[in-house]
Structure 1
């Protein structure tokens, strides 16, 4: 949509004072890994083309905030390709960040993503296992009464995805990364289709940071204006379950409708738009979403309770 065809609401807010976002230094871009020449070339080509303005229904709608979860690690991997050596279906995630009041792109924001691998394990927390419930359920009737006092704390991601922050248990950092939005508000990550673990549907965590400064060491200062999660429709997830390594994931799977974090509001709640070959998902999946944020807000995800339900918005799909 061009400027001449913007909705009246957008015209009314043209004179709103724009919030300042610190521009990224050239040194930070040069220092970041692009994860492969072919992938980098495609990303550069995508940034050169001026994308169309977001549809009207994507404006004036804040994307749902969710809990951060226990396994966030502060931005220390400035990269687009977060795959490392993890096996799985190739997944390209394209995110556009816009100011929900004006629908204008939020430039030079730092966007984090992190998620589990195909069998439900988070990097940095491999000792936690796959949600503490990756094996088959026990059978039969117990014959002995437990004695003594338990000495070990439960491990694995809490079923609801909440809980306080956990300190990393190892130095692995696969399937985690941070990159900046371009002048059109876009950022693209290369990763693999996530798996699942006990109590949670398939999802990707995200944070959006603004008003900070890019340095050679990463992104510093500013405020976290959005903490959320991205979700996958059931058809796509079911299509992965017969392929390795997903087929080796023995954790009970929680469906999208059963999840305690997804609020049921479609795109507003983080539901991704997915494209892939229906007869061969193994070839790869492309996911995209527009995230509406308030750049002046602070949403760290520390105090955000799990969502129970929400009415679908105009942007739901």
Structure 2
């Protein structure tokens, strides 16, 4: 999707106490698991009324900083809900609700992007650059050996001060586009994706990238114009990641894992910082995971994730 910067409004914002560098994120209401063998209730996301009872004002949510886009974003216009393609891994259903951070009303017709690595830490479009590790034959040009630990040394050339790497974008090296997609929010501000539980790679905890675009136009070829009002990341708790690491192909990874508390992008604030609410059979995570979160955005703001945001921590190569 193409951001039409000329169409942005430059009029003074009215009655907004939020800064342009802030959004708010909070967990969606509980998801109910039922049945033997890890089957999740079919109506797990149906009770919108109960979930919305808390969304009556700004006091319901805390603010959290935007995060870096990372080097592996592709504006590919893959308008689809199922982004799995042929990738192996634990089935993951991700439900995102987007609301206006001032009014707490749902944002309809927003375009939501998500993208993440596969079970062995490889990103589509960048297979030769990704720092995943594990079983199987690595893609041509992939790093050899078993990398471990957090990257050290200076950020790559061009990275802004503060170490976010937000201004560094890599051009795609291949035509693969698995585990990437965009979908439109419904009248409740909700969008659901089918994917797999992400793996991990050197220097980062398990995460999913996201962008929210508003004020554009949906066309036959995708989503055009408007502004990117949020760029962020979603995170997984340690219990779920440890459980996933016992399941193939995750269990074949040779990459040392960075934990949630060690990560340099996650701000350690729980659901307010993008920590997903997860439901799965604790005895058999391989059956699948339901993840949910509510993201509050300022639709008048522009957050591309490439600006020099004051985010602690990691270089672009570890985003």
TM-score range, shorter chain: 0.7 to 0.9
Residue 169 (structure 1) aligned to one of 160, 169, 173: 173
**Structure 2: how far apart are the matches of 1:54 and 1:174?**
36
Alpha-carbon contact 1:68-1:302 (below 8 Å) kept:
yes
**Structure 1: how far apart are the matches of 2:195 and 2:310?**
26
Question: For residues 256 and 48 of structure 1, do their structure 2 counterparts lie closer, same or farther at Cα, with a shift above 3 Å needed?
Answer: closer
Alpha-carbon offset, residue 279 of structure 1: 0.2
Residue 220 (structure 2) aligned to one of 211, 216, 222: 216
CA RMSD of aligned residues (A): 3.0
Alpha-carbon contact 2:112-2:213 (below 8 Å) kept:
yes
1:58-108 deviations in Å (ceiling 9; x for gaps): 745445310000000014100000000000000000000001111100110
**Structure 2: how far apart are the matches of 1:49 and 1:215?**
31
- Find out whether 1:69 has 2:70 as its counterpart: yes
- Find out whether 1:272 has 2:268 as its counterpart: no
Partner of 1:197: 201
Partner of 1:135: 145
Partner of 2:107: 106
* TM-score, normalised via structure 1 length: 0.72
Alpha-carbon contact 1:113-1:207 (below 8 Å) kept:
yes
Alpha-carbon contact 2:118-2:199 (below 8 Å) kept:
yes
**Structure 1: how far apart are the matches of 2:164 and 2:126?**
17
Alpha-carbon offset, residue 303 of structure 1: 1.7
Gaps (5+ residues) in structure 1? Answer: 1-14, 18-41, 139-152, 310-317
Higher RCO (CA-CA < 8 Å; seq separation 6+): 2
Aligned residue for 2:128, secondary structure, equals helix
Alpha-carbon contact 1:78-1:218 (below 8 Å) kept:
yes
- 1:37-116 equivalences under 5 Å are 51-52=49-50, 53-56=52-55, 59-116=60-117
1:183-222 deviations in Å (ceiling 9; x for gaps): 0010000000000000000000000000000001100000
Alpha-carbon offset, residue 128 of structure 1: 1.2
**Structure 2: how far apart are the matches of 1:117 and 1:301?**
22
Alpha-carbon offset, residue 54 of structure 1: 5.0
Aligned residues: 252
**Structure 2: how far apart are the matches of 1:277 and 1:58?**
33
**Structure 1: how far apart are the matches of 2:93 and 2:108?**
20
Alpha-carbon contact 2:164-2:308 (below 8 Å) kept:
no
Aligned residue for 1:128, secondary structure, equals coil
Alpha-carbon offset, residue 254 of structure 1: 0.2
**Structure 1: how far apart are the matches of 2:165 and 2:145?**
19
Structure number with bigger Rg? 1
Partner of 2:121: 120
Alpha-carbon offset, residue 308 of structure 1: 3.3
* TM-score, normalised via structure 2 length: 0.72
Higher helix residue share: 1
Aligned residue for 1:282, secondary structure, equals helix
Alpha-carbon contact 2:119-2:200 (below 8 Å) kept:
yes
Alpha-carbon contact 2:118-2:179 (below 8 Å) kept:
yes
Gaps (5+ residues) in structure 2? Answer: 1-13, 17-40, 133-141, 149-155, 158-162, 314-319
Question: For residues 273 and 46 of structure 1, do their structure 2 counterparts lie closer, same or farther at Cα, with a shift above 3 Å needed?
Answer: closer
- 1:219-234 equivalences under 5 Å are 219-234=223-238
1:19-77 deviations in Å (ceiling 9; x for gaps): xxxxxxxxxxxxxxxxxxxxxxx99x899875441524774544531000000001410
Question: For residues 306 and 244 of structure 1, do their structure 2 counterparts lie closer, same or farther at Cα, with a shift above 3 Å needed?
Answer: farther
